Chains A and B, each alone.
Chain A
């Protein structure tokens, strides 16, 4: 049965001054799944992630998204194709309000390129209701008028997700969505990702193995820039090479 591949890489390689952070990674993400990219520190997860979102350019290899070669596209243009990333450190606009953070994403999708400096921003009010609805979905309604800088860490992450959802992306790339979170926030965010992933494709880099186990349909394990193993959690976690890579790198 031919599976519907939304994102794939072929022998993706990134060299930094002779050091190969990502070395010939071939990866296929099936549409509608939650796919996790894991591996010990220095395995090349984040580099791989930055290549996929075009924040880095590959030394060799190709990336295809929905059958289209995106290897040479600019990051903003990749986002316009519906492939949207999150960041490891919470990526909000600190001096915009919570509502405005979400609205700026809606603005790009619905208002388009905004070079209209002569127009009053009141034209954006038509987006307010939808923005507030998204803010409500991540449980931040009561903070809608606050500047994002005032939010707690977990709430900033929630805001980031609401902002990303405002773009209505087909595919999400999440860079360690649980990094630095307390236990409660992890639960809440996991539930949010599961809900969001119902009708979208998600590729995420994550350290928290229990999260990965419960959320992902498929897991790719990276080590030293290469694919070590791939499969569902049960398969991957029993793989002796994976166990060795983690223990060898000092992870329990």
Chain B
């Protein structure tokens, strides 16, 4: 965002300038640095597999939030890109014997292609109809996964080899694998941050704010919507592919509609339309699933209660609430 506060110094004191200024970008840089440092230290303190799960879902939620929070498009079928990418990555690593980085690339490209096709169909409609089309298409992807031979049906693709990065660095060790996942996550986060703060991102925000007006300024809005849809699906695919390597598994869970719901939940709990909210959302939800697993089916109910409380108490999500209190865009 432009640094207009400096041009109108008298006003800055009178009314709150909530838009991002230069010092906000500096704050974001510090937070990014903080996250990088945390990621470097964390595996020595916390269980790496848990961390990797949080990072995969965090990236998934960040990708979803790019579409919802900045594109204003609510997809109810993001599991399709996450899950199909996960299948293709697992298949490429196990059956074709590709090294992990190439397998992840395969999965990610699959999600990009799928996003292009599904997105082109879905953006023709708006609001709830858009959401319903994304859901219907994702259900088709689910039934395809259930029926197709290569996905292994109910069993999924199991015992996916972690392999060796570029054929040399073995990922068998959790710490080594963690390094890769942390890099993928950080790269994804920085890319999304850049997308939001690019000329393209400015147009996205304008379309989200007032679509007819954006059209009247000469923007062909459907092309922008499709572009952000594909970007979001691609990054969701990157998250799904990485997850397949981490857990050495691709299964129906990843393409199930419940997964689409979960990413909505993560984004809303963390704060949609905030830069860092989805990460916190993913952390909260994954932590609950991991540490409340002993309660079995009750996890779902506890999640439901947390969600209801979130919506009732702070609709803008955890990070959204912090941003409002501190008056800083986060």
> Which residues of chain A have a CB within 8 Å of any CB of chain B?
53, 55, 74-77, 79-80, 84-87, 91-100, 103-105, 107-109, 111, 113-121, 123-125, 128, 132, 141-147, 150, 163, 167
What are 8 A-B contacts with C-beta separation under 8 Å? Answer: A79-B217, A92-B213, A104-B217, A117-B195, A117-B231, A118-B195, A141-B8, A145-B21
- B4 proximal to A (CB < 8 A): yes
What residues of chain B lie closer than 8 Å to A100, measured between beta carbons? 1-2, 19, 202
- B212 proximal to A (CB < 8 A): yes
**Minimum C-beta distance from B278 to chain A (A):** 18
Cα A116 to Cα B2 in complex, Å, equals 17
Residue ID in chain B nearest A94 by CB atoms: B209
14 more contacts with CB within 8 A, not counting A97-B19, A119-B200, A147-B19, are A55-B212, A87-B216, A92-B213, A95-B19, A108-B217, A115-B224, A117-B231, A118-B194, A123-B199, A124-B2, A142-B8, A142-B10, A142-B11, A147-B17
Which of B7, B194, B195, B223 touches A144 (beta carbons < 8 Å)?
A: B7
What residues of chain B lie closer than 8 Å to A94, measured between beta carbons? 209-210
Cα A93 to Cα B203 in complex, Å, equals 11
**Minimum C-beta distance from A180 to chain B (A):** 17
Residue-wise, chain B 1-26 has the 8 Å CB interface mask toward A (1 for contact) of 11011011011100101110100000
Q: How many residues of B contact A (CB 8 A)?
A: 41
What residues of chain A lie closer than 8 Å to B19, measured between beta carbons? 95-97, 100, 145-147
Cα A182 to Cα B219 in complex, Å, equals 32
What residues of chain B lie closer than 8 Å to A163, measured between beta carbons? 217
**Minimum C-beta distance from A128 to chain B (A):** 6
- B201 proximal to A (CB < 8 A): yes
**Minimum C-beta distance from A97 to chain B (A):** 5
Cα A241 to Cα B311 in complex, Å, equals 58
Cα A104 to Cα B216 in complex, Å, equals 12
Tell me whether A97 and B2 are in contact (CB under 8 A).
Answer: yes
> Which residues of chain B have a CB within 8 Å of any CB of chain A?
1-2, 4-5, 7-8, 10-12, 15, 17-19, 21, 194-195, 197-203, 205-206, 209-210, 212-221, 223-224, 227, 231
Tell me whether B2 and A125 are in contact (CB under 8 A).
Answer: yes
Tell me whether B2 and A84 are in contact (CB under 8 A).
Answer: no
Most B CB contacts (10 A, CB to CB) among A86, A115, A128 go to: A115
Tell me whether A124 and B199 are in contact (CB under 8 A).
Answer: yes
Cα A87 to Cα B215 in complex, Å, equals 12
What residues of chain B lie closer than 8 Å to A84, measured between beta carbons? 216-218
Tell me whether A116 and B1 are in contact (CB under 8 A).
Answer: no
What residues of chain B lie closer than 8 Å to A116, measured between beta carbons? 198-200
Q: A116-B200, A117-B227, A120-B197 are in contact. Are A146 and B17 (CB under 8 A)?
A: yes
What residues of chain B lie closer than 8 Å to A144, measured between beta carbons? 4, 7-8
Q: A79-B217, A100-B19, A147-B19 are in contact. Are A124 and B202 (CB under 8 A)?
A: yes
Which of A53, A76, A96, A118 touches B209 (beta carbons < 8 Å)?
A: A96
**Minimum C-beta distance from B323 to chain A (A):** 13
- Give 5 closest A-B pairs by Cβ, nearest first: A145-B4, A79-B218, A117-B200, A114-B199, A93-B209
Tell me whether B201 and A97 are in contact (CB under 8 A).
Answer: no
Cα A123 to Cα B221 in complex, Å, equals 21
Tell me whether B220 and A146 are in contact (CB under 8 A).
Answer: no
What residues of chain A lie closer than 8 Å to B200, measured between beta carbons? 114-117, 119
What residues of chain A lie closer than 8 Å to B2, measured between beta carbons? 97, 99-100, 103, 124-125, 128
